[in-house]
Structure 1
Amino acid sequence: MLDPSVPPEASALIRAGNRSLSVMDHIREAILNGSVSAGERINEVRVSKTLAVSRTPVRAALQALAGEGLLDYAPNRGFTVREFPLDAIVDAYEIRASLEGVAARFAAERGLSTEERAVIEQSLAAGDRLLARGTLESGDITIYRDINGDFHDALLLAARNRMLAEMIRICHHVPVSSSRNIVVFEYRDVRRRHDDHHRIFEAILAQEPHRAEMLMREHVSGVKASLVRSLTGHDASTNRVNRPVPAATE
């Protein structure tokens, strides 16, 4: 059980993963999945208490994450989650759409391992069960976050290209663009995205690389469009504004 004196932002670091994760993994995952919001200060003492580690590895993790661009540091204030303007988020989604499209094409060309196929099938089945009720509850976002992340992570593994994986990881350093950060959690949007997953998987199994690439590009671009509409009321292609966006709850 978490210490009741620990504030929500620190508790989120525990929820972000299990104890086998490194301190940096815990903090990074909490940022990428939106548990810790943009602009929020990360208290070194509270994090060390929550994760039951000394302040030394916490400080090293925060410094490393600042080097990755996920955190900002200011004297006398410490580390805060970096805020990104909407233009930067839109750019990250567009680059991610291209890169994940290539990953889907590679997966279709190279085939899925038994383990990769099992993870994807499990994520699709879990999504089917979640959506079978015809409605979504607030707590379902955590379930869908894992479903969505597992699908995208398995396809990236199936691409078997380290350079591609590193480039996509850089896109995820803009937190809202991460596949672990769920954008616009409404039933209609989630239904459409999950149906996309089924179609992408079918194209990969059918060894149709160019169709798989096209479907994945459209899938990620659709998430981008949903995010921009929810924040501005305009389409991403017609309204690119330079204002910071909080880490929204793909």
Structure 2
Amino acid sequence: MTDNHTSAEMVGERLREVILRGELQPGEKLHQNRLAEQLGVSRTPLRTALAALADSGLVVYESNCGYRVREFSPEQIRGAFIVRAELEALACTLAAPNMTDAFAQQLFDFVAEGDRLLAGGQLLEDNHAPYREMNVSFHKLIQTIAGNPWIADFVARLHNVPLTSDRIILWEHWKIIHRSHDDHRRIAEALSHGNGMRAGAIMREHVLFAMDYLLSQLNSQSEGALRIVPARANTQNRKTSKRKP
């Protein structure tokens, strides 16, 4: 592998993360000079990286206009979320018989990390990146334990629909992010007891709840709804919504 190829792959991954985190919005034009400066790279690997991202469907190229972040309709976003929910629920079902004490401990370690980051009733801006990494790692670990690489492969492809990515923290209200993290706890508990059906049901609800919240934000056209924002506690939002135990 050449240095140029390696550099282009690294640039592509960095740019992909920026898009999936919502720092570049759907439909936004990608100015190569500005991006090269922001990423601290030359335009040669950047052009190669953009072409690769276009092949993956994350960006689109238009003659005389250049590259822009691909836009997805609410129907496309809903469809991607539904498939992701079923795949991640299946991952839980398959992971249950493969659980070991070590795997269970890893899952609970991620839950404990989330508890630490959310301590004090808020997710501080400085903790966005650590929380996002914890969230991604939690989901990836379950897919690994499932032992079917096709699940992880297809879930990764669905993350090319930026708003369905588990790398984005969208929640403006404390009860939303608190509920999401509580789902992680309940999934870990179910898997630690070998109950894949229950873990899968919680995971499906977990993903679809995020879908419903996101689409409601899109429908209301709330300013900043697609950007990463701090989720803070307040007197109106301290309680999580009621669910079946």
Answer whether TM exceeds 0.5 for this pair: yes
Q: What letter matches 2:115 in structure 1?
A: D
Match of 1:73 among 33, 40, 61: 61
Aligned to 1:217: 204
- Relative distance call for 1:85 and 1:156 in structure 2 (3 A) is same
Aligned to 2:70: 82
Contact 1:34 1:181 in 2 (8 A): yes
Contact 2:20 2:168 in 1 (8 A): yes
Runs of 4 or more off by more than 6 Å in structure 1? none
Contact 2:190 2:196 in 1 (8 A): yes
How many positions carry a matched residue from both structures? 219
After the TM superposition, which residues 99-248 of structure 1 pair with which residues of structure 2 at under 5 Å, given as runs? 99-112=87-100, 114=102, 117=104, 119-232=106-219, 247-248=226-227
Q: The residue matched to 2:33 in structure 1 has which SS? A: helix
Residue 120 of structure 1 deviates from its aligned partner by: 2.8
- Relative distance call for 1:170 and 1:126 in structure 2 (3 A) is same
Match of 2:32 among 44, 48, 53: 44
Q: CA RMSD in A?
A: 2.4
Q: Distance in 1 between matches of 2:149 and 2:37?
A: 35
- Relative distance call for 1:113 and 1:68 in structure 2 (3 A) is farther
Q: What letter matches 1:38 in structure 2?
A: P
Q: Deviations over 1:106-130 (max 9, x none)?
A: 111222584x555433321121122
Aligned to 2:19: 31
Identity %: 37
Q: Deviations over 1:127-155 (max 9, x none)?
A: 11222212344444333222222211221
Q: The residue matched to 2:122 in structure 1 has which SS? A: coil
Q: Distance in 2 between matches of 1:137 and 1:109?
A: 37
- Relative distance call for 1:205 and 1:113 in structure 2 (3 A) is closer
Q: What letter matches 1:45 in structure 2?
A: N
Unaligned runs of 5+ in 2: 1-6, 230-245
Q: The residue matched to 1:180 in structure 2 has which SS? A: coil
Q: What letter matches 1:109 in structure 2?
A: P
Q: What letter matches 2:172 in structure 1?
A: F
Contact 1:175 1:247 in 2 (8 A): no
Of 90-99 and 119-128, more deviation after overlay is shown by 119-128
Contact 2:104 2:191 in 1 (8 A): no
Q: What letter matches 2:78 in structure 1?
A: V
TM-score, scaled to structure 1: 0.79
Aligned to 1:236: none
- Relative distance call for 1:170 and 1:120 in structure 2 (3 A) is same
